């Protein structure tokens, strides 16, 4: 009994002093003190790295662990510093120990926030990248050895809600620190994306768009937990477009268009793509290379995701097509498109005023004074020989490749305007369709016989009136906001109705460039300037359409060897687009189609069907190439007429038609038959 009493009464002292007992049981301060390390160094070293500190060892183990639930306890080891500081002040009563603990806490907590923010950013970026990847494509990557694993659910939400962490008597707002670190991570990722775009050609817009979309979705996922800066403000800061109208993306797009796209790419109308020429006419564009190695987290999150996205982006690196122009339209926006088009117009004006103008003047001197359209009686071989003789100087012009190259640059610029117009129209139509429900634009319902269509429409409008943005802002907003919404609603409704086209404006600008220069319109031999009848001037060769006919005759000639590249491979259809556009803007397209040398030869050969060879030029091969280019020219003129129909109808002169009164039967003597013809004076007739 006494022994049992002693055993039970042993705990009475601790129970009576329960507060002190509980503090002693929860005091883990000895896990921080380093008597063991001091004994190892015999007192010669009193400072140790944080990797040898037990609180940091435990916290770092949780951060590096693959066990996802442990992340919730990452701040538990930091409570050891509170115990150690309390022990230093109340037990040891040493200020220097507390100062050492405080210094270590500052360092460890900074490292903890740094590693935790990187871990959170990596997790959400991998999550966003996997969400944007197609599910079937992920399975195909898995079969090909690229294991794209969807991130497992993690318990970051409890950490991202921590606003007050007690450490050494201080209250720390964790969300504020994480917001700062994550904002820096976004800036680094966007900086990497733009730098990668600046180190490649124009095809890099697809990869840039992909990286921006992944970062945008990552920002959206994190914004549900933290109060981050808007993604547009972050990208504006990185893009250097906060205080400048020209951002880094806009500048690089214009740079690549001017110095690489125009001189080095060939357009193919059948695929609607630009491909790089195999024989560049000018030197390659030099770009800044990415020197440093890029961490995976700054791209798509992991090495496997980077490989999967690289496979997708590599599909768009061999050409420039509709997808690239749509991406450029989204990246540039209205302001960037206006800047790029304005600068491209300066490039076009420089070509027309200097390089192409000089070549046209030189080619005009090489043209024969007169070049007729021979009669069909001569036969197509003789006509071909005639044109080979007449256009001998043009065919052997030494700078002919430079001429084709300059026209290719002009044609690529015009095609760029056309592609941007088409992409912009698609984006605007998409905006209009998405905005329709909020503008009370209801699709027309089906009405049976006897039902009132207007009544159905009114019921639908009343049903969806609550979604009308104008009514909501007028009801809940200020008067100024209501006026702004009304103006925006009106602009959205009328944007497509008034028929705004960028390409038509560009053609009008180019036409103004041509009409301001007398080389294109006011040459002395022109029928318009010399007031000569056009019928007497059809053999003249100084008009631009005759010069282009001669150039078309040259590039229709077949190659001498099988391995030689033809004009289509060297310059693409941008060459044809440039010539046909100038002809159409000068209103010489009908003359061109009527008096073209190759068209005339093609018509004669189609009738006589001869297959001779004249001066190593195969007539069937030559006429086949003429037929292909004739179809191409017709397509180009049809495309231009679609945009120029509004401007050309006003410029057609009104024909002066003289109306003559019809003849009337006059009352003549009854002896003359009513159907007898009137006789001229001094003639007789027999009845």
Which residues, in sequence order, are CB contacts of 528 under 8 Å at separation 6+? 521
Q: Of all residues in the chain, what percent carry a pLDDT higher than 70?
A: 86
Does pLDDT of 527 surpass 50?
A: no
Say what the pLDDT of residue 255 is.
93
Residue 529: pLDDT band with limits 50, 70, 90:
very low
Contacts of 162 (CB under 8 A, 6+ apart): 75, 174, 175
384 to 397, 553, 560, 604: CA distances (angstroms): 19, 10, 17, 10
Strands, E assignment, 399-459: none
Mean pLDDT across the stretch 47-52? 73
What secondary structure letter does DSSP report for 77? T
Token pair for 388: 């080979």
Closest CA to 99 of 84, 109, 79, 110: 84
pLDDT band per the 50, 70, 90 thresholds, residue 239:
very high
Q: Supply the pLDDT for residue 676.
A: 40
Q: Where is pLDDT greater, at 153 or 390?
A: 390
* pLDDT tens digits, 395-423: 999 999 999 999 999 999 999 999 999 99
Residues 113/115/120/121 CA torsion (nearest 10 deg): 110
pLDDT band at 21 (very low <50, low <70, confident <90, very high): low
- Identify the pLDDT of residue 650: 46
**8 Å CB contact between 123 and 154:** yes
Q: What is the per-residue pLDDT across 276-332, written as a single tens digit (0 to 9) for each? A: 988 877 777 777 777 678 888 899 989 999 999 999 999 999 999 999 999 999 999
Q: Which of 14-23, 31-40, 162-171 has the lowest mean pLDDT?
A: 31-40
Give the per-residue pLDDT at 42: 56
Over the stretch 429-483, which tens digit does the pLDDT of each residue have? Answer: 888 888 888 887 777 777 777 778 888 888 888 888 878 888 888 888 888 888 8
Lowest mean pLDDT across 176-180, 195-199, 672-676: 672-676
How crowded is the C-beta side of 444, counted as CA atoms within 13 Å? Answer: 5
Neighbouring C-beta atoms of residue 634, cutoff 10 Å: 12
Confidence of residue 685 (pLDDT cuts 50, 70, 90): very low
Closest CA to 606 of 376, 382, 390: 376
Q: In the prediction, which pLDDT does 469 show?
A: 84
State pLDDT tens for residues 609-624.
888 888 888 899 999 9
Cα dist from 426 to 204, 421, 469, 574, whole Å: 22, 9, 24, 23
Report the pLDDT value the prediction gives residue 528, as an integer from 0 to 100. Answer: 39
What per-residue confidence (pLDDT) applies to 649?
45
Q: What is the pLDDT of residue 687?
A: 31
pLDDT of residue 40: 57
pLDDT of residue 598: 92
- Among residues 601, 670, 662, the alpha carbon closest in space to that of 630 is found at 601
Separation of alpha carbons 320 and 205, rounded Å: 10
Q: Which of 606, 634, 633 is nearest to 620 (CA)?
A: 606
Average pLDDT estimate for 529-540: 52
- Give the pLDDT confidence score for residue 372 in this predicted structure: 84
CA 306 to chain centre: 21
What span, in angstroms and rounded, lies between the C-alpha atoms of 427 and 496?
A: 11
C-alpha 84: how far from chain center = 59
Tell me the β-bridge partners of 267: 274
pLDDT digits (tens, 9 = 90+) for 196-238: 999 999 999 999 999 999 999 999 999 999 999 999 999 999 9
Reported as a pLDDT band with limits 50, 70 and 90, residue 38 is: low
Percent of the chain residues topping a pLDDT of 90 = 43
Q: Are 357 and 517 in contact (CB under 8 A)?
A: yes
Residue 129 pLDDT > 90: yes
- For tokens 């794209």, the residue is 148
Average pLDDT on 175-189 reads 93
Backbone angles phi, psi at 274, to 5 degrees: -105, 130
**In the predicted model, what is the mean pLDDT of the chain?**
83
Higher-pLDDT residue of 43, 638 = 638
227, 247, 230: which is closest to 238 by C-alpha? Answer: 247
Q: Cα separation of 212 and 300, whole Å?
A: 10
Separation CA 319–CA 275 (nearest Å)? 5
Q: Which residues contact 189 (CB under 8 A, 6 or more apart)?
A: 125, 211, 215, 297, 298, 299
């Amino acid at each position: 009994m006494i022994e049992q009493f002693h055993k039970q009464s042993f705990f009475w002292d601790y129970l009576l002093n329960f507060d002190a007992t509980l503090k002693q049981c929860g005091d883990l301060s000895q896990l921080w003190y380093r008597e063991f390390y001091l004994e190892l160094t015999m007192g010669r070293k009193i400072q140790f790295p944080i990797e040898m500190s037990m609180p940091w060892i435990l916290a770092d183990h949780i951060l590096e662990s693959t066990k996802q639930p442990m992340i919730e306890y990452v701040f538990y080891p930091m409570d050891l510093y509170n115990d150690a500081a309390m022990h230093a002040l109340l037990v040891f009563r040493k200020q220097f120990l507390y100062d050492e603990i405080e210094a270590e806490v500052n360092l460890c907590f900074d490292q903890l926030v740094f590693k935790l923010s990187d871990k959170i950013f990596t997790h959400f970026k991998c999550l966003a990248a996997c969400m944007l990847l197609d599910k079937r494509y992920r399975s195909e990557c898995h079969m090909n050895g690229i294991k794209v694993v969807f991130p497992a659910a993690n318990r970051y939400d409890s950490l991202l809600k921590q606003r007050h962490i007690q450490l050494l008597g201080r209250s720390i707002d964790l969300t504020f620190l994480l917001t700062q670190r994550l904002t820096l991570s976004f800036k680094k990722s966007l900086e990497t994306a733009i730098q990668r775009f600046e180190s490649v050609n124009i095809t890099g817009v697809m990869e840039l768009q992909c990286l921006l979309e992944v970062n945008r979705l990552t920002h959206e996922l994190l914004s549900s937990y933290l109060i981050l800066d808007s993604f547009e403000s972050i990208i504006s800061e990185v893009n250097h477009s906060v205080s400048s109208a020209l951002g880094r993306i806009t500048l690089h797009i214009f740079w690549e268009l001017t110095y690489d796209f125009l001189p080095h790419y060939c357009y193919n109308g059948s695929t609607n793509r630009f491909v790089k020429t195999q024989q560049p006419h000018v030197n390659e564009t030099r770009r800044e290379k990415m020197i440093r190695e890029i961490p995976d987290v700054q791209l798509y999150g992991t090495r496997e995701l980077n490989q999967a996205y690289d496979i997708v982006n590599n599909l768009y690196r061999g050409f420039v097509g509709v997808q690239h122009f749509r991406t450029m339209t989204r990246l540039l926006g209205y302001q960037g498109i206006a800047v790029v088009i304005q600068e491209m117009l300066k490039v076009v004006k420089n070509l027309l005023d200097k390089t192409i103008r000089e070549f046209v003047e030189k080619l005009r001197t090489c043209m024969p004074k007169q070049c007729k359209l021979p009669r069909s009686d001569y036969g197509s071989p003789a006509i071909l020989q005639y044109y080979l003789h007449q256009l001998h100087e043009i065919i052997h012009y030494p700078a002919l490749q430079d001429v084709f190259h300059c026209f290719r640059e002009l044609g690529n610029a015009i095609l760029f305007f056309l592609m941007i117009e088409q992409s912009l129209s698609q984006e605007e139509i998409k905006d209009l369709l998405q905005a329709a429900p909020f503008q009370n634009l209801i699709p027309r319902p089906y009405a049976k016989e006897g039902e009132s269509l207007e009544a159905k429409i009114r019921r639908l409008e009343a049903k969806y009136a609550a979604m009308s943005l104008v009514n909501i802002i007028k009801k809940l907003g200020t008067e100024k906001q209501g006026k702004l919404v009304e103006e925006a609603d009106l602009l959205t409704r009328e944007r497509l109705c008034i028929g705004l086209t960028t390409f038509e404006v560009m053609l009008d600008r180019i036409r103004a460039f041509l009409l301001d220069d007398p080389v294109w319109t006011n040459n002395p031999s022109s029928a318009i300037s010399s007031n000569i009848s056009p019928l007497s001037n059809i053999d003249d060769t100084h008009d631009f359409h005759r010069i282009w006919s001669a150039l078309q005759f040259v590039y229709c000639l077949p190659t001498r060897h099988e391995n030689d590249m033809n004009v289509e491979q060297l310059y693409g259809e941008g060459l044809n687009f440039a010539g046909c556009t100038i002809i159409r803007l000068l209103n010489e397209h009908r003359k061109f189609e009527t008096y073209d040398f190759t068209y005339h030869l093609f018509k004669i050969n189609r009738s006589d069907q001869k297959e001779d060879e004249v001066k190593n030029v195969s007539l069937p091969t030559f006429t086949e190439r003429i037929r292909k280019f004739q179809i191409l020219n017709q397509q180009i003129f049809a495309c231009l007429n679609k945009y120029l129909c509004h401007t050309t109808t006003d410029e057609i002169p009104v024909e002066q038609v003289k109306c003559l009164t019809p003849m009337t039967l006059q009352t003549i003597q009854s002896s003359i038959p009513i159907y007898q013809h009137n006789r001229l004076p001094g003639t007789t007739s027999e009845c």
